[in-house]
Amino acid sequence: QKVTVEVLDHLERLALVDFRDAEGVERLQKAIQFADQLHEVNTDGVEPMDSVLEDRCLYLREDDVTEGNCTKELLKNAREKVEEYFVAPPGNIPLPKLEERETFLQGS
* 45 or 94, higher pLDDT: 45
What 3-state class would DSSP assign to 43? coil
Q: What are phi and psi of 82, to 5 degrees?
A: -130, 120
Looking at residue 78, what is its pLDDT?
84
For the chain, the structural domain boundaries read: 1-40
**Helix then strand then coil, % of the chain, to nearest 5:** 40, 5, 55
Tell me: the pLDDT tens digits for 61-94? 888 888 888 888 989 888 888 888 888 766 655 6
* 18 or 93, higher pLDDT: 18
